Amino acid sequence: MSATPTHDAELDASGLNCPLPLLKAKMELNRLDSGAVLKVIATDAGSQRDFRTFAKLAGHTLLLEEAEAGVYTYWLKKA
């Protein structure tokens, strides 16, 4: 297992349904500088597809993605 990336900001989107975790992550990323890492915690299974697609389309890097007991954690590096 790889080391968990360090992060500059954290967003807890637990209990929120699609597309709210992604919208909140977008707003949070807007506040961060380029190269900053945002850790997002979500409980919506659909968030996996959303975050993969968003990272690809927006040019951000999905450094790591973890799923454990219905909790999805993402580390997004801002483009």
Residues 6+ apart with CB under 8 A from 71: 14, 41, 42, 43
The verdict on whether 14 is a catalytic residue reads: no
Burial of 30 (0-12, 13-18, 19+ CB in 10 A): exposed
Active-site residue (options: 7, 9, 16, 18): 18
Q: Which residues are catalytic?
A: 18
